[in-house]
Structure 1
Amino acid sequence: MSGLLSPEEWQAVALSLRVALWATVISLPLATLVAFALVRWRFPGRALVNGLVHLPLVLPPVVTGYLLLMAFGRRGPIGALLDEWFGVTLAFRWTGAVLAAGIMGFPLVVRAIRLALEAVDPRLEDAAATLGAGRVRVFATVTLPLIAPGLLAGAVLGFAKAMGEFGATITFVSNIPGQTQTLPSAIYAFLQLPGGEAGALRLVAIAVAVSMGALILSEWLSRRVARRIGGLDA
Protein backbone atom coordinates (compact mmCIF):
# COMPACT_ATOMS: atom_id res chain seq x y z
CA MET A 1 0.00 0.00 0.00
CA SER A 2 2.78 2.42 0.90
CA GLY A 3 4.31 1.92 -2.58
CA LEU A 4 1.33 3.55 -4.27
CA LEU A 5 2.36 7.03 -3.13
CA SER A 6 5.62 8.70 -2.27
CA PRO A 7 6.28 9.77 1.34
CA GLU A 8 5.56 13.38 0.40
CA GLU A 9 2.25 12.40 -1.17
CA TRP A 10 1.27 10.40 1.91
CA GLN A 11 2.08 13.45 4.02
CA ALA A 12 -0.33 15.53 1.94
CA VAL A 13 -3.06 12.89 2.28
CA ALA A 14 -2.52 12.51 6.04
CA LEU A 15 -2.50 16.28 6.56
CA SER A 16 -5.72 16.69 4.58
CA LEU A 17 -7.45 14.03 6.68
CA ARG A 18 -6.13 15.67 9.86
CA VAL A 19 -7.27 19.13 8.79
CA ALA A 20 -10.69 17.90 7.64
CA LEU A 21 -11.28 15.94 10.83
CA TRP A 22 -10.38 18.80 13.15
CA ALA A 23 -12.30 21.33 11.05
CA THR A 24 -15.39 19.14 11.30
CA VAL A 25 -15.06 18.41 15.01
CA ILE A 26 -14.56 22.08 15.88
CA SER A 27 -17.24 23.52 13.59
CA LEU A 28 -20.02 21.01 14.32
CA PRO A 29 -20.95 22.22 17.86
CA LEU A 30 -20.82 25.88 16.83
CA ALA A 31 -22.82 25.17 13.67
CA THR A 32 -25.46 23.39 15.77
CA LEU A 33 -25.74 26.40 18.08
CA VAL A 34 -25.96 28.85 15.18
CA ALA A 35 -28.54 26.74 13.34
CA PHE A 36 -30.64 26.43 16.50
CA ALA A 37 -30.47 30.19 17.05
CA LEU A 38 -31.52 30.94 13.46
CA VAL A 39 -34.45 28.51 13.59
CA ARG A 40 -35.74 28.85 17.15
CA TRP A 41 -34.77 32.34 18.30
CA ARG A 42 -35.88 35.79 17.19
CA PHE A 43 -33.35 38.52 17.89
CA PRO A 44 -32.15 41.83 16.40
CA GLY A 45 -29.55 41.28 13.72
CA ARG A 46 -30.74 37.78 12.87
CA ALA A 47 -30.64 38.54 9.14
CA LEU A 48 -27.10 39.89 9.51
CA VAL A 49 -25.96 36.75 11.31
CA ASN A 50 -27.55 34.62 8.60
CA GLY A 51 -25.75 36.64 5.95
CA LEU A 52 -22.38 36.37 7.69
CA VAL A 53 -22.78 32.62 8.10
CA HIS A 54 -23.37 32.17 4.37
CA LEU A 55 -20.84 34.77 3.21
CA PRO A 56 -18.05 32.22 2.54
CA LEU A 57 -20.32 30.55 -0.03
CA VAL A 58 -20.47 33.66 -2.21
CA LEU A 59 -17.06 35.19 -1.59
CA PRO A 60 -14.16 33.99 -3.75
CA PRO A 61 -12.13 31.59 -1.57
CA VAL A 62 -8.99 33.66 -2.17
CA VAL A 63 -10.76 36.68 -0.66
CA THR A 64 -11.69 34.63 2.42
CA GLY A 65 -8.09 33.48 2.72
CA TYR A 66 -6.80 37.03 2.40
CA LEU A 67 -9.21 38.27 5.08
CA LEU A 68 -8.03 35.46 7.36
CA LEU A 69 -4.44 36.47 6.71
CA MET A 70 -5.19 40.09 7.53
CA ALA A 71 -7.06 39.17 10.72
CA PHE A 72 -5.11 36.14 11.97
CA GLY A 73 -1.63 36.88 10.62
CA ARG A 74 1.04 37.77 13.15
CA ARG A 75 0.43 41.46 12.51
CA GLY A 76 -3.33 41.10 12.35
CA PRO A 77 -5.52 42.27 15.25
CA ILE A 78 -6.51 38.74 16.29
CA GLY A 79 -3.32 36.98 15.27
CA ALA A 80 -1.13 39.41 17.20
CA LEU A 81 -3.15 38.82 20.38
CA LEU A 82 -3.02 35.05 19.96
CA ASP A 83 0.73 35.17 19.42
CA GLU A 84 1.38 37.53 22.33
CA TRP A 85 -0.95 36.00 24.91
CA PHE A 86 -0.91 32.30 24.02
CA GLY A 87 2.03 31.85 21.67
CA VAL A 88 -0.36 30.56 19.00
CA THR A 89 0.37 31.23 15.33
CA LEU A 90 -2.17 30.25 12.70
CA ALA A 91 -0.82 31.80 9.50
CA PHE A 92 1.39 29.38 7.53
CA ARG A 93 0.64 26.56 9.99
CA TRP A 94 -1.54 23.47 9.63
CA THR A 95 -3.77 24.86 12.37
CA GLY A 96 -4.48 27.79 10.06
CA ALA A 97 -5.56 25.29 7.41
CA VAL A 98 -8.05 23.93 9.94
CA LEU A 99 -9.44 27.42 10.47
CA ALA A 100 -9.70 28.14 6.74
CA ALA A 101 -11.30 24.79 5.94
CA GLY A 102 -13.70 25.09 8.86
CA ILE A 103 -14.86 28.55 7.80
CA MET A 104 -15.37 27.51 4.18
CA GLY A 105 -17.41 24.46 5.17
CA PHE A 106 -19.31 26.14 8.00
CA PRO A 107 -22.27 27.37 5.89
CA LEU A 108 -22.86 23.85 4.54
CA VAL A 109 -22.86 22.37 8.04
CA VAL A 110 -25.23 25.04 9.34
CA ARG A 111 -27.61 24.59 6.42
CA ALA A 112 -27.85 20.81 6.86
CA ILE A 113 -28.54 21.13 10.58
CA ARG A 114 -30.96 24.00 10.02
CA LEU A 115 -33.03 21.95 7.58
CA ALA A 116 -33.17 19.12 10.11
CA LEU A 117 -34.28 21.51 12.87
CA GLU A 118 -36.99 23.04 10.70
CA ALA A 119 -38.43 19.55 10.19
CA VAL A 120 -38.80 18.99 13.95
CA ASP A 121 -42.26 19.73 15.30
CA PRO A 122 -41.81 22.31 18.10
CA ARG A 123 -44.81 20.78 19.87
CA LEU A 124 -42.68 17.75 20.72
CA GLU A 125 -40.23 20.02 22.51
CA ASP A 126 -43.08 21.89 24.20
CA ALA A 127 -44.57 18.62 25.41
CA ALA A 128 -41.28 17.61 27.01
CA ALA A 129 -41.01 21.04 28.63
CA THR A 130 -44.49 20.76 30.14
CA LEU A 131 -43.39 17.53 31.80
CA GLY A 132 -40.72 19.45 33.68
CA ALA A 133 -37.70 18.98 31.44
CA GLY A 134 -35.37 21.96 31.21
CA ARG A 135 -34.14 23.43 27.94
CA VAL A 136 -30.88 21.52 27.98
CA ARG A 137 -32.63 18.24 28.72
CA VAL A 138 -35.25 18.86 26.04
CA PHE A 139 -32.53 19.48 23.51
CA ALA A 140 -30.49 16.44 24.57
CA THR A 141 -33.37 13.97 24.79
CA VAL A 142 -35.81 15.21 22.14
CA THR A 143 -34.26 17.62 19.64
CA LEU A 144 -30.80 16.10 19.29
CA PRO A 145 -31.97 12.56 18.46
CA LEU A 146 -34.44 13.92 15.90
CA ILE A 147 -31.83 16.02 14.10
CA ALA A 148 -29.13 13.33 14.24
CA PRO A 149 -29.39 12.57 10.49
CA GLY A 150 -28.95 16.28 9.77
CA LEU A 151 -25.92 16.39 12.05
CA LEU A 152 -24.38 13.47 10.19
CA ALA A 153 -25.14 15.06 6.83
CA GLY A 154 -23.62 18.35 7.99
CA ALA A 155 -20.53 16.61 9.33
CA VAL A 156 -19.97 14.81 6.02
CA LEU A 157 -20.52 17.98 4.00
CA GLY A 158 -18.10 19.87 6.22
CA PHE A 159 -15.54 17.08 6.05
CA ALA A 160 -15.78 16.83 2.26
CA LYS A 161 -15.51 20.60 1.86
CA ALA A 162 -12.48 20.67 4.16
CA MET A 163 -10.84 17.86 2.19
CA GLY A 164 -11.29 19.78 -1.04
CA GLU A 165 -10.61 23.31 0.19
CA PHE A 166 -7.89 25.03 -1.82
CA GLY A 167 -8.23 28.77 -2.43
CA ALA A 168 -8.61 30.03 1.14
CA THR A 169 -6.11 27.50 2.48
CA ILE A 170 -3.29 28.22 0.06
CA THR A 171 -3.77 31.98 0.54
CA PHE A 172 -3.72 31.78 4.33
CA VAL A 173 -1.14 29.04 5.00
CA SER A 174 0.64 28.74 1.64
CA ASN A 175 1.74 25.40 0.14
CA ILE A 176 4.65 24.16 2.25
CA PRO A 177 5.39 20.44 1.69
CA GLY A 178 5.17 18.46 4.91
CA GLN A 179 3.71 21.41 6.84
CA THR A 180 0.72 23.00 5.09
CA GLN A 181 0.52 21.13 1.78
CA THR A 182 -2.90 19.49 1.70
CA LEU A 183 -4.24 17.15 -0.96
CA PRO A 184 -5.60 19.87 -3.29
CA SER A 185 -2.40 21.88 -2.89
CA ALA A 186 -0.29 18.84 -3.73
CA ILE A 187 -2.40 18.18 -6.84
CA TYR A 188 -1.93 21.81 -7.88
CA ALA A 189 1.83 21.54 -7.30
CA PHE A 190 2.04 18.41 -9.48
CA LEU A 191 0.18 20.14 -12.30
CA GLN A 192 2.80 22.90 -12.32
CA LEU A 193 5.57 20.36 -13.00
CA PRO A 194 6.36 18.81 -16.39
CA GLY A 195 5.27 15.19 -16.26
CA GLY A 196 3.44 15.67 -12.99
CA GLU A 197 0.13 14.40 -14.33
CA ALA A 198 0.71 10.88 -13.01
CA GLY A 199 1.26 12.12 -9.46
CA ALA A 200 -1.77 14.38 -9.68
CA LEU A 201 -3.89 11.48 -10.93
CA ARG A 202 -2.84 9.29 -8.00
CA LEU A 203 -3.88 11.96 -5.52
CA VAL A 204 -7.14 12.61 -7.37
CA ALA A 205 -7.95 8.89 -7.05
CA ILE A 206 -7.27 9.05 -3.29
CA ALA A 207 -9.48 12.14 -2.95
CA VAL A 208 -12.35 10.49 -4.83
CA ALA A 209 -12.04 7.30 -2.76
CA VAL A 210 -12.06 9.17 0.57
CA SER A 211 -15.00 11.36 -0.44
CA MET A 212 -17.06 8.42 -1.69
CA GLY A 213 -16.26 6.45 1.45
CA ALA A 214 -17.41 9.34 3.62
CA LEU A 215 -20.66 9.70 1.68
CA ILE A 216 -21.43 5.98 1.85
CA LEU A 217 -20.68 5.88 5.57
CA SER A 218 -22.88 8.93 6.16
CA GLU A 219 -25.78 7.42 4.23
CA TRP A 220 -25.52 4.17 6.17
CA LEU A 221 -25.34 5.92 9.52
CA SER A 222 -28.21 8.25 8.64
CA ARG A 223 -30.47 5.35 7.73
CA ARG A 224 -29.64 3.51 10.93
CA VAL A 225 -30.37 6.61 12.99
CA ALA A 226 -33.62 7.21 11.11
CA ARG A 227 -34.74 3.61 11.70
CA ARG A 228 -33.99 3.87 15.40
CA ILE A 229 -35.89 7.13 15.68
CA GLY A 230 -38.83 5.58 13.87
CA GLY A 231 -38.80 2.56 16.16
CA LEU A 232 -38.00 0.20 13.32
CA ASP A 233 -34.70 -0.94 14.77
CA ALA A 234 -34.04 -2.31 18.22
Structure 2
Amino acid sequence: MNDNFWEPIQLSFIVALSATIFVIVAGIIVAWLMVKKQFIGKLIVEVILLLPIVLPPTVTGFLLIMIFGKNGVAGQLIDLLFGQSLMFTIWGAILAAVVVAFPLMYQSVKIGFSSIDQSIEGAARVDGANEWRVFRYISLPLCFPSIVTGAVLSFARALGEFGATMMFAGNIPGKTQTIPLAIYVAFESNHLALAWSWVIAIIIISFLMLIFLRKRNT
Protein backbone atom coordinates (compact mmCIF):
# COMPACT_ATOMS: atom_id res chain seq x y z
CA MET A 1 0.00 0.00 0.00
CA ASN A 2 1.21 3.49 -0.83
CA ASP A 3 1.13 6.67 1.25
CA ASN A 4 -2.22 7.62 -0.28
CA PHE A 5 -3.74 4.65 1.53
CA TRP A 6 -2.03 4.98 4.92
CA GLU A 7 -2.20 8.77 5.41
CA PRO A 8 -5.98 8.96 6.09
CA ILE A 9 -5.77 5.92 8.38
CA GLN A 10 -2.93 7.40 10.43
CA LEU A 11 -4.65 10.77 10.60
CA SER A 12 -7.96 9.17 11.59
CA PHE A 13 -6.30 7.32 14.46
CA ILE A 14 -4.58 10.51 15.66
CA VAL A 15 -7.85 12.46 15.54
CA ALA A 16 -9.97 9.70 17.09
CA LEU A 17 -7.47 8.89 19.85
CA SER A 18 -6.95 12.56 20.75
CA ALA A 19 -10.70 13.16 20.83
CA THR A 20 -11.28 10.03 22.92
CA ILE A 21 -8.70 11.03 25.54
CA PHE A 22 -10.37 14.42 25.88
CA VAL A 23 -13.94 13.06 26.11
CA ILE A 24 -12.91 10.43 28.67
CA VAL A 25 -11.67 13.13 31.05
CA ALA A 26 -14.47 15.59 30.29
CA GLY A 27 -17.14 12.89 30.26
CA ILE A 28 -16.17 11.54 33.68
CA ILE A 29 -16.08 15.01 35.26
CA VAL A 30 -19.32 16.27 33.68
CA ALA A 31 -21.23 13.02 34.25
CA TRP A 32 -20.20 12.89 37.92
CA LEU A 33 -21.28 16.49 38.46
CA MET A 34 -24.60 15.92 36.68
CA VAL A 35 -25.32 12.85 38.82
CA LYS A 36 -24.27 14.38 42.15
CA LYS A 37 -25.35 18.01 41.84
CA GLN A 38 -28.78 19.60 41.58
CA PHE A 39 -29.21 23.05 40.05
CA ILE A 40 -31.71 25.16 38.14
CA GLY A 41 -31.71 24.42 34.43
CA LYS A 42 -30.07 21.00 34.82
CA LEU A 43 -32.41 19.42 32.26
CA ILE A 44 -31.59 22.13 29.70
CA VAL A 45 -27.85 21.64 30.24
CA GLU A 46 -28.17 17.88 29.77
CA VAL A 47 -30.18 18.30 26.58
CA ILE A 48 -27.48 20.62 25.20
CA LEU A 49 -24.80 18.05 26.07
CA LEU A 50 -26.70 15.32 24.20
CA LEU A 51 -27.80 17.49 21.27
CA PRO A 52 -24.97 16.46 18.88
CA ILE A 53 -26.41 12.92 18.85
CA VAL A 54 -29.56 14.07 17.05
CA LEU A 55 -28.33 17.13 15.15
CA PRO A 56 -27.40 16.64 11.48
CA PRO A 57 -23.59 16.71 11.11
CA THR A 58 -23.84 19.72 8.82
CA VAL A 59 -25.63 21.66 11.56
CA THR A 60 -22.90 20.71 14.03
CA GLY A 61 -20.27 21.84 11.52
CA PHE A 62 -22.12 25.11 10.93
CA LEU A 63 -22.30 25.83 14.67
CA LEU A 64 -18.59 25.06 15.06
CA ILE A 65 -17.83 27.59 12.31
CA MET A 66 -20.06 30.21 13.97
CA ILE A 67 -18.46 29.67 17.39
CA PHE A 68 -14.85 28.73 16.61
CA GLY A 69 -14.42 30.28 13.17
CA LYS A 70 -12.54 33.50 12.57
CA ASN A 71 -15.64 35.59 13.23
CA GLY A 72 -16.79 33.60 16.27
CA VAL A 73 -16.12 34.74 19.83
CA ALA A 74 -14.15 31.61 20.73
CA GLY A 75 -12.42 31.65 17.35
CA GLN A 76 -11.23 35.23 17.79
CA LEU A 77 -9.94 34.44 21.28
CA ILE A 78 -8.02 31.39 20.00
CA ASP A 79 -6.60 33.42 17.14
CA LEU A 80 -5.51 36.11 19.61
CA LEU A 81 -3.82 33.60 21.93
CA PHE A 82 -2.22 31.30 19.38
CA GLY A 83 -2.13 33.36 16.21
CA GLN A 84 -3.96 30.69 14.24
CA SER A 85 -7.52 29.62 13.55
CA LEU A 86 -8.70 26.09 14.31
CA MET A 87 -10.44 25.85 10.96
CA PHE A 88 -8.78 23.66 8.31
CA THR A 89 -6.29 22.22 10.82
CA ILE A 90 -5.97 18.87 12.54
CA TRP A 91 -7.06 20.61 15.74
CA GLY A 92 -10.28 21.52 14.01
CA ALA A 93 -10.79 17.87 13.06
CA ILE A 94 -10.15 16.85 16.68
CA LEU A 95 -12.62 19.46 17.94
CA ALA A 96 -15.30 18.21 15.54
CA ALA A 97 -14.66 14.63 16.70
CA VAL A 98 -14.85 15.69 20.36
CA VAL A 99 -18.21 17.39 19.88
CA VAL A 100 -19.86 14.41 18.18
CA ALA A 101 -18.24 11.76 20.44
CA PHE A 102 -18.77 13.44 23.81
CA PRO A 103 -22.49 12.58 24.20
CA LEU A 104 -21.75 8.85 23.91
CA MET A 105 -19.09 9.04 26.60
CA TYR A 106 -21.21 11.24 28.84
CA GLN A 107 -24.30 9.04 28.60
CA SER A 108 -22.39 5.84 29.24
CA VAL A 109 -20.52 7.20 32.27
CA LYS A 110 -23.62 8.85 33.68
CA ILE A 111 -25.43 5.50 33.61
CA GLY A 112 -22.43 3.95 35.34
CA PHE A 113 -22.36 6.52 38.13
CA SER A 114 -26.16 6.40 38.53
CA SER A 115 -26.11 2.61 38.97
CA ILE A 116 -23.67 2.71 41.92
CA ASP A 117 -25.26 1.72 45.23
CA GLN A 118 -25.35 4.92 47.27
CA SER A 119 -24.94 2.95 50.49
CA ILE A 120 -21.42 1.93 49.42
CA GLU A 121 -20.38 5.55 48.97
CA GLY A 122 -22.19 6.47 52.19
CA ALA A 123 -20.31 3.82 54.14
CA ALA A 124 -17.00 5.22 52.88
CA ARG A 125 -18.00 8.71 54.03
CA VAL A 126 -18.98 7.37 57.46
CA ASP A 127 -15.52 5.80 57.72
CA GLY A 128 -14.01 9.25 57.20
CA ALA A 129 -13.33 9.37 53.46
CA ASN A 130 -13.69 12.79 51.86
CA GLU A 131 -15.46 13.30 48.51
CA TRP A 132 -12.23 12.99 46.52
CA ARG A 133 -11.39 9.64 48.13
CA VAL A 134 -14.94 8.39 47.60
CA PHE A 135 -14.73 9.36 43.96
CA ARG A 136 -11.25 7.94 43.41
CA TYR A 137 -11.49 4.68 45.33
CA ILE A 138 -15.23 3.87 45.16
CA SER A 139 -17.12 5.63 42.38
CA LEU A 140 -14.47 5.54 39.66
CA PRO A 141 -13.56 1.82 39.99
CA LEU A 142 -17.23 0.79 40.10
CA CYS A 143 -17.91 2.91 37.00
CA PHE A 144 -14.89 1.58 35.10
CA PRO A 145 -16.83 -0.84 32.83
CA SER A 146 -19.08 2.03 31.71
CA ILE A 147 -16.01 4.21 31.11
CA VAL A 148 -14.48 1.52 28.87
CA THR A 149 -17.75 1.13 26.94
CA GLY A 150 -18.05 4.89 26.49
CA ALA A 151 -14.43 5.18 25.39
CA VAL A 152 -14.80 2.48 22.73
CA LEU A 153 -18.06 3.96 21.40
CA SER A 154 -16.57 7.45 21.41
CA PHE A 155 -13.47 6.28 19.54
CA ALA A 156 -15.65 4.56 16.93
CA ARG A 157 -17.82 7.67 16.54
CA ALA A 158 -14.78 9.95 16.23
CA LEU A 159 -13.21 7.58 13.70
CA GLY A 160 -16.30 7.71 11.52
CA GLU A 161 -17.03 11.43 11.78
CA PHE A 162 -17.67 13.01 8.36
CA GLY A 163 -20.03 15.97 8.07
CA ALA A 164 -18.83 18.27 10.84
CA THR A 165 -15.20 17.53 9.96
CA MET A 166 -15.81 18.31 6.28
CA MET A 167 -17.36 21.69 7.09
CA PHE A 168 -15.06 22.82 9.88
CA ALA A 169 -11.70 21.18 9.20
CA GLY A 170 -11.99 20.71 5.45
CA ASN A 171 -10.74 17.83 3.35
CA ILE A 172 -7.02 18.47 2.98
CA PRO A 173 -4.96 15.37 2.09
CA GLY A 174 -2.30 14.65 4.70
CA LYS A 175 -3.65 17.35 6.99
CA THR A 176 -7.37 16.90 7.72
CA GLN A 177 -8.45 14.12 5.36
CA THR A 178 -9.68 11.26 7.55
CA ILE A 179 -10.88 7.85 6.32
CA PRO A 180 -14.54 8.87 5.74
CA LEU A 181 -13.46 11.94 3.76
CA ALA A 182 -10.94 9.89 1.78
CA ILE A 183 -13.64 7.35 0.90
CA TYR A 184 -15.90 10.15 -0.34
CA VAL A 185 -13.17 11.65 -2.53
CA ALA A 186 -12.11 8.27 -3.91
CA PHE A 187 -15.69 7.39 -4.78
CA GLU A 188 -16.32 10.77 -6.42
CA SER A 189 -13.10 10.34 -8.43
CA ASN A 190 -14.13 6.80 -9.47
CA HIS A 191 -11.13 5.25 -7.66
CA LEU A 192 -13.27 2.40 -6.44
CA ALA A 193 -10.43 0.03 -5.53
CA LEU A 194 -8.94 2.63 -3.19
CA ALA A 195 -12.37 3.46 -1.77
CA TRP A 196 -13.02 -0.23 -1.13
CA SER A 197 -9.68 -0.62 0.67
CA TRP A 198 -10.59 2.17 3.11
CA VAL A 199 -14.13 0.82 3.53
CA ILE A 200 -12.79 -2.62 4.37
CA ALA A 201 -10.22 -1.12 6.77
CA ILE A 202 -12.81 0.86 8.75
CA ILE A 203 -15.22 -2.11 8.79
CA ILE A 204 -12.49 -4.33 10.25
CA ILE A 205 -11.60 -1.73 12.88
CA SER A 206 -15.27 -1.24 13.84
CA PHE A 207 -15.86 -5.01 13.88
CA LEU A 208 -12.94 -5.58 16.24
CA MET A 209 -14.13 -2.83 18.60
CA LEU A 210 -17.63 -4.33 18.73
CA ILE A 211 -16.16 -7.79 19.41
CA PHE A 212 -14.16 -6.26 22.27
CA LEU A 213 -17.31 -4.70 23.77
CA ARG A 214 -19.31 -7.91 23.42
CA LYS A 215 -16.58 -9.95 25.11
CA ARG A 216 -16.43 -7.46 28.01
CA ASN A 217 -20.21 -7.60 28.47
CA THR A 218 -20.45 -11.41 28.51
TM-score band (shorter)? over 0.9
Alignment equivalent of 2:87, drawn from 85, 91, 97: 91
Paired amino acid for 2:10: A
Q: Does 1:8 align with 2:4?
A: yes
Q: Does 1:67 align with 2:93?
A: no
Q: Counterparts of 1:102 and 1:65 in 2: how far apart (Å)?
A: 12
Paired amino acid for 2:30: V
Partner of 1:162: 158
Partner of 1:199: 194
2:85 match: secondary structure:
coil
User: Between Structure 1 and Structure 2, how many residues are aligned?
Assistant: 218
Partner of 2:48: 52
Partner of 1:82: 78
The 5-angstrom pairing of residues 1-234 of structure 1 reads 3=1, 6-194=2-190, 196-220=191-215, 222=216
- Cα deviation for residue 218 of structure 1 reads 4.3
- Cα deviation for residue 75 of structure 1 reads 2.4
- Cα deviation for residue 148 of structure 1 reads 0.3
- Cα deviation for residue 154 of structure 1 reads 0.3
Q: What's the CA shift string for 1:155-204, capped at 9, x where partnerless?
A: 0010000000001110101101111000000000011012x221111001
| Root mean square deviation of aligned Cα | 1.4
Paired amino acid for 1:38: M
Q: Counterparts of 2:13 and 2:214 in 1: how far apart (Å)?
A: 20
Runs (5+) with no aligned partner, structure 2: none
Paired amino acid for 1:213: L
Q: Counterparts of 2:74 and 2:179 in 1: how far apart (Å)?
A: 28
- Cα deviation for residue 22 of structure 1 reads 0.3
Q: Counterparts of 2:20 and 2:84 in 1: how far apart (Å)?
A: 20
Runs (5+) with no aligned partner, structure 1: 227-234
- Cα deviation for residue 27 of structure 1 reads 1.1
2:183 match: secondary structure:
helix
Q: Counterparts of 1:24 and 1:164 in 2: how far apart (Å)?
A: 13
- Cα deviation for residue 32 of structure 1 reads 1.0
Larger mean CA deviation between 211-220 and 183-192 belongs to 211-220
2:180 match: secondary structure:
helix
- Cα deviation for residue 76 of structure 1 reads 1.7
- Cα deviation for residue 29 of structure 1 reads 1.1
TM-score (norm 2): 0.95
Q: Counterparts of 2:59 and 2:155 in 1: how far apart (Å)?
A: 21
TM-score (norm 1): 0.89
Q: Counterparts of 1:150 and 1:71 in 2: how far apart (Å)?
A: 31
Paired amino acid for 2:195: A
